[in-house]
Amino acid sequence: MKKPITNYSHKITAEKKWFDLNLREIWNYRDLLWLFVKRDVTTFYKQTILGPLWFLLQPLITTIVFSFIFNKIAKIPTDQTPPFLFYMSGIIAWNYFSDCLMSTSNTFTSNAYIFSKVYFPRLIIPFSQIISNLVKMFVQLSLFFCLLIYYQVYEDQVFFIYRNIILLPIIIIQMGLLGVAIGMIVSSLTTKYRDLRFLVSFSVQLLMYATPVAYPLSAVPEKYKIFVLYNPMTSIIVSFRNSLLGKENLDPIFFYYSFLSISLLFLVGLIFFNRVEKTFIDTV
Amino acid sequence: MKRIAIDIKNLSKQYFLGKISSGTLARDVTSIWSRLIKKTDPNSIINYEKINISQKENRIWAIKDINLKIMKGDIIGVIGKNGAGKSTLLKILSKITSPTKGEVEIHGKVASLLEVGTGFHPELTGKENIFLNGAILGMSTSNIKEKLNEIIHFSGIDNYIDTPIKRYSSGMKVRLGFSIAAHLDADILFVDEVLAVGDAEFRQKALFKMNDLSENQKKTIIFVSHNLNAVLNLTRQCIYLKDGKISMQGKTKDVVQKYLNNQEIIKKVDFPKNKVISFEDIYLTNEDNIRKTSFFYDENIIIHYKYRLLKRSPKLRVAFNISDTFGTILFNSADFPDGNRLEKNIEVGNYISNAIIPKRFFNEGKLYLGVTSDIPFVKTYLDIKKIFSISINFKTVKTADLKEKFEGPLFPEIIWETYKIERK
């Protein structure tokens, strides 16, 4: 197949535009995107004994710990859902979000060496993070579905997974975008302020407790509920769990709120990233 | 008619020296906040006028007002000292950083090789890294697939191509990196010191490939190098950057000549004190009396000695030796080899001695000059082993092929005569 002849002429100027997203250029580099994903996924378990099993062990162990602490000791209810499934779905979703955030948040500092030697659209890196973390998440979700079937068959639990599961892709995309949006803002700022790096890793941990990962929304006292709902991750996590287990109730208005705030944050992230990518090499 | 490939207009780039911002978010925020409410910045130096001056001094133009048009298919060398702005220019052209002023129009697909093997992942195999590195440099996967065999073959590491490259030697990585770079489908290549790596054989191969890319494949190449011989061999046009500006632009040979002449040799040597001979200065020039240590093949090398005899010294001699980079002395030479000065030169007074090493004598490369002064078998007054390193650049005698490089430190002009003998 003969490829169309593209005009590669371009101009380098000193102007700094507020927003200058060259989607066609990113499209031209799509092969690089896939290769980065492939690299991240395949090198993850190189020279390990358990290999891709590591993808599963981490959420599995966290789920066991959560069920023990939050369910058995703290006696927090899980809305008629088996605790194991409840925590696991929350952990998978939260991990995807926080992985996207953390891996994007040092885009500039950890890739400074490559960036100082060769040009390619810098956005490829955050985008490739969304996708390679997605691969990891799919592996974890498949384990989750196995457990779901087990509970359906042996424990006689009935889940309304068919009702909302169509929303799942949208929810997953939103989680990734939110993680990357915050990650991009952080990565743009860390080129100047290294302090943020430390702040972020521990804020993400704390943020998890402000999000209904280890507890259902219904367990939140009414007067604090509004603070939890301001967190755009809340409705995402709840909807995610809902689309899989279908036991919680959430006013759709919060879903729209999350959608809007995530889109806005993503736009802000893009602008920050865009501003920094052209000159960060002089300051990093 | 030739078309313009790169059009650089008034390109400038400013850097800040020293600290960028105050370093922590908290202090920056207080600075910005106090600027907003028009209070004195608590983090500023007290005297406001003083900061203005120091801020101006803290700025440096890495490159300033560069104007350059490069035609399609040209191969242009860029030379200059460290910090002259060569790398900054390439970084702007390859979009790694953006300029402070000016603009560049580029017509054609660009690949920049500021380094070979950028982004190689140690855990991936050679073949996987070809795809990854190729894609980083802007090649599509289908394009790499087409050229895969060629790339592997050129690198010469066919047997190890499915081994993770963490097992490779550094030379093998360089070979692989360069062969990917050499097979890019770009129209315009920016090359920075890439040829400075690898072993001698591979360097020759790489140089030859570069030549092939420009001459046969009509690629536009900007070639930045400290290796003047590579620039001379590869390019016909050249620019000389000095302090961020184009100091000269023209035929490579003329530009290199100017560059070499411009290098000031300020080297103060402390000569040992004694009661017989006191040296004031020893330096090198060419026949035009320009001080330097880098010479062309067809230039005389003149060693100048300035000294004072402090007492009558009939047996004294002044000498020099030339050694190669391994320290092996190639030859010695003295003003009075037998150690008997001419009668008129033995009295107290100031003297100048010049030693002229004829042109077309040394091969290209690096040599060391050592200087001595002694009374044979009695006393040595001066013995500096490596007072200067001399570099010899480019043979104007074009050898039959660029590929051929004669070995050995000397390449003297030898008179050959060949006759055909008619036998009855």
Minimal CA separation from A106 to chain B, in Å: 16
Residue A168 has pLDDT above 70, yes or no: yes
3-state secondary structure of A175: helix
Residues in chain A: 284
Q: Which of A122-131, B330-339, B395-404 has the lowest mean pLDDT?
A: B395-404
CA angle B93, A284, A270 (to 5 degrees): 75
Give the pLDDT score at B16.
73
Sign of the Cα pseudo-torsion (B101, B102, B108, B111, in order):
negative
Confidence of residue B51 (pLDDT cuts 50, 70, 90): very low
Buried b (16+ CB within 10 A) or exposed e, A66-80: bbeebbeeeebebee
Has residue A3 been placed in a domain? no
Give phi and psi for A118, each to the nearest 5: -150, 145
Has residue A213 been placed in a domain? yes
DSSP single-letter state for residue B125: B
Please measure the distance between the N-terminal and C-terminal CA atoms of chain A and give it in whole angstroms. Answer: 43
Mark yes or no for CB contact B96/A43 under 8 Å.
no
Between A29 and A163, name the one with better pLDDT: A29
Mark yes or no for CB contact A189/B25 under 8 Å.
yes
Q: What is the pLDDT of residues A235-273, one digit of tens each?
A: 888 888 888 887 666 777 888 888 899 999 999 999 888
Buried b (16+ CB within 10 A) or exposed e, B199-233: eeebbbbbbebbbebbeeeebbbbbbbebbbbbbb
Number of compact structural domains in chain A: 1
Q: Specify the residue for token string 């690299």.
A: A39
Q: What is the pLDDT of residues B241-255, one digit of tens each?
A: 988 889 889 988 888
Mark yes or no for CB contact A29/B112 under 8 Å.
no
Buried b (16+ CB within 10 A) or exposed e, A129-160: bbbbbbbbbebbbeebeebbeebeeeeebebe
Has residue A38 been placed in a domain? no
- Nearest CB among A12, A116, A189 relative to B99 is that of A12
Give phi and psi for B66, each to the nearest 5: -85, 125
3-state secondary structure of A12: strand
Taking contacts as CB-CB distances below 8 angstroms, the residues of chain A near B139 are 31
Residue B127 has pLDDT above 70, yes or no: yes
Has residue A25 been placed in a domain? no
Give the pLDDT score at B170.
83
Residue A192 contacts B where some CB pair is shorter than 8 Å = yes
Q: Which of B233-237, B245-249, B366-370 has the lowest mean pLDDT?
A: B233-237
Residue A196 has pLDDT above 90, yes or no: no
**Of all helices (H) and strands (E), which one includes residue B380?**
strand B379-393
> What ipTM describes this predicted complex?
0.83
Residue type, B240: Y
Residue B396 has pLDDT above 80, yes or no: no
Q: How far apart are CA A201 and CA A214, in angstroms?
A: 19
Give the side-chain half-sphere CA count within 13 A for A20.
13
Q: Specify the residue for token string 């330096």.
A: B283
3-state secondary structure of B96: coil
Interface test with A, best of B132, B187, B188, B189 (most A CBs within 10 A): B132
Overall average pLDDT of the A43-59 stretch: 81
CB-based contacts of A33: which residues, under 8 Å, 6+ apart? Answer: A26, A124, A127, A128, A131
DSSP string, B30-72: HHHHHHHTT---TTS-S-HHHHHHHHHHTEEEEEEEEEEEEET
Interface test with A, best of B109, B163, B165, B224 (most A CBs within 10 A): B109
CA nearest A78: which of A87, A89, A69? A87
The answer to whether the beta carbons of residues A179 and A99 sit under 8 Å apart is yes
Radius of gyration of chain B from its Cα atoms, rounded to whole angstroms: 28
The answer to whether the beta carbons of residues B195 and B164 sit under 8 Å apart is no
What are B69's strand-pairing partners?
B7
Residue span of the structural domain in which A116 resides: 48-282
Mark yes or no for CB contact B96/A117 under 8 Å.
yes
Mark yes or no for CB contact A11/B103 under 8 Å.
yes
Confidence of residue B217 (pLDDT cuts 50, 70, 90): confident
Q: How far apart are CA A282 and CA A53, in angstroms?
A: 41
Confidence of residue B196 (pLDDT cuts 50, 70, 90): low
Has residue A57 been placed in a domain? yes
Taking contacts as CB-CB distances below 8 angstroms, the residues of chain A near B197 are none
The answer to whether the beta carbons of residues A148 and A66 sit under 8 Å apart is no
The pTM score is 0.74
Residue B29 contacts A where some CB pair is shorter than 8 Å = no
Please measure the distance between the N-terminal and C-terminal CA atoms of chain B and give it in whole angstroms. Answer: 61
Residue type, B110: V
Q: What is the pLDDT of residues A18-29, one digit of tens each?
A: 667 778 888 888
> How many distinct helices (H) and strands (E) make up chain B?
9, 17
Residues in chain B: 424
- Nearest CB among A32, A279, A283 relative to B98 is that of A279
Taking contacts as CB-CB distances below 8 angstroms, the residues of chain B near A10 are 105-106
CB-based contacts of A206: which residues, under 8 Å, 6+ apart? Answer: none
Has residue A15 been placed in a domain? no
Mark yes or no for CB contact B106/A12 under 8 Å.
yes
The answer to whether the beta carbons of residues B43 and B1 sit under 8 Å apart is no
What does the block give as tokens for B373? 């002064």
The answer to whether the beta carbons of residues B15 and B83 sit under 8 Å apart is no
Mark yes or no for CB contact A118/B103 under 8 Å.
no
Which B residues 51-110 touch A at CB under 8 Å? 91-110
The answer to whether the beta carbons of residues A274 and A20 sit under 8 Å apart is yes
CA angle B155, B90, A16 (to 5 degrees): 130
Residue A59 has pLDDT above 60, yes or no: yes
CB-based contacts of B288: which residues, under 8 Å, 6+ apart? Answer: none
